[in-house]
Structure formats: structure tokens, C-alpha cells
Structure 1
């Protein structure tokens, strides 16, 4: 059985929304460093995520990868998520021996050994930290998008298909960060849903 000295945890945020990028993060803890209180970012409050983020930055090397909406539309959300995860790993300042990925799929283009772990964001510290980094960054990007396209409420719903978001799309039409290939947007563009 091989032993691995440098383990990266990888997770993403933003696969499901109708707008905005998918953001992935890769985290490698520095030897002798750890952070207590980690968990799946979806179960932590925004305040808790923001409190943990500087602790993660202090204790770990971090890489980030992003796939923008036009790339998601071109290659599909699954492939865009996989490439964002690879970009996160590639942007680390060091090369890990092994990557642990939240979910059931290992990206094809990783340049180290990889293992997919379902529920890893709740059980593996490196993946939990990556989950928090990815979600915090994506939320910040959607806050910025709210200032640029103020008619959609991105700061509140982060691009997810809430009733308020769907009403804003019906009122304003899609904006440049909407994923035109996603069914609610594509159907509206084709005139298949009432405006």
C-alpha cells in the first residue's frame, strides 16, 4: 500500500445554479497544521464559513479553479466542474501525491492519484476546507454580480432557481452570467414558458 505525504482535498460550489460560475478549490494542509470545526460548507452558517476561511488560509496551501457560464454552456456542467477541479489542483503552489475529491467521480486530467469520496466534504478535513473555500469565493463572486446586474437578486439566492430569481428572469430576461443551456433558461429563450 503506498503512503502519501501530501494530500489535497478538492470540492466545488455552484453546480446547480442557473447563473454564475462553478468554483472549485483544492486544499493541502501544511505539515503539522489543522483547523478545528470544519464541515460541509452547506451545513455551516455564512458567519462560520467566514470565520474559518482565514484559519484555512493560515494552515493550508490553496488552489482555485473556475469555469465561467459560457464554458458551462459549451462543454456541459459536469465537464466544466471536472475542469474547474483540475484547475484548482494545478493552481496549488506544490504538487500533492494524492487528491481526495468530494463526490463519485475523479477528473480525468488530474496529474496525481485521485479518489472520489461520497460525502467527503463532511468527513475529510481537506475536502471540508476546500468546500468552505469554494463556497465562500463563489458567494463573493455572486455578491459582485449583484452590483453589476442589480435586477436579479444574485446576492440573496446566489443564482439558484428560487421563485424570486425566476420572476426576475421573466421580468428582465437572462443576463450574461445566466447558463443558457440550463433548462429553465433555454426553455424561456425558446418561448416554451410564459414570460
Structure 2
């Protein structure tokens, strides 16, 4: 676990909270984006807890560089406001989810475990609002492209992708669609390959984009 925040008090507080969970080990802390890239490359943590707003290199660019240096790492963003438009940029840069800075300790640990296991930690409702807000200021080409890409998936792959967009876990999807968790993972993997996306959060964003103005 790597903790990244430009505020030393916040870093110390997060590390203390995480120390309560014996399955989470903080291997390093970083005061900024550039230092985060170096620390991630050196320690190769499973998860990075990244502050969104930092001077010099913000969390979005740091996420992009960390993911490029260590593709296997999952990045969780920390933000002060749910509707911070930079959250959407961070998710598109490869973050596995986002949390408010005042998140309860047990929720924080749960989100870290989800990210470490390859799942995501985000609010489907809030993320949909972010996509809708962005779409209002853009043209319809992004929505048309997302719909075309989604149409290239099989019915089962599309059903799984839509369930992912609602924030469902692999176990929940498996139960709802009457398939094994292994099959769910296979469908997600194939959907990511066909769409050229990196993770399930980006897959969810594509689904949200495709659904704009359709309800």
C-alpha cells in the first residue's frame, strides 16, 4: 500500500487508520505525484491511495504515470467533493475508484481490498452524474462512439458490462446472470480487450456514456 498526499498530517492519519487492518501494509508514503511514481516503481504496491488535488503534479497525471510504470497497480483517488470533475479525468486515466477524504475507516479498508482484488470502488449514481455533466458540455460524438463500441460486445458481455457500471461485484453479477464468477471475469476480460480499455471502471464509464440521453 502506497499513500500519496501533499499534507503530512493526512498521510500520517491514513497510515494510522490502515494499520488497524492486519492485512494491509503501508510500504511507503509520498508527498506528491512525482514522488508517487518513484515510490510505486520501487515498491510495486498492490494499491495506491492517491490525493486528487496536489501542487506541481496532480493526482490525475500521477495516476497516469504510476499506471504506465506499474500496470498491475490499482489506484484509488481521494477527493473532497463527490462531484469534482477531476474525478472523471482520474477514472479515465486508470484509477480503480474514488473515495471522499472523510470516508469511514471500515469503508476505506473495504475499498482497498476491492481494488487489490481487481474490482472497483465507486458510486454508480455519482459517476453517472459526472458523465452527464461532462456530456452536456461536449458534442454527441463521444456518446455515439460509446454506443458503437458497446454494440460490438456479445449480449452476455454487454449484460456484464452494464452490471459492472451499476457497481455490482463479480459475485453479485454471477448470481444475477446465472453464471460462475470465473465466467464473469472472462466476459469482463473479453469486453476490455474488445473496447481497448484498461479496467472495469473505464468500462463503466463507457456504459454511462452510451446511455446518455437514452432514458
TM-score (norm 1): 0.24
TM-score (norm 2): 0.22
In terms of fraction of residues, the more helix-rich structure is: 2
In terms of fraction of residues, the more strand-rich structure is: 1
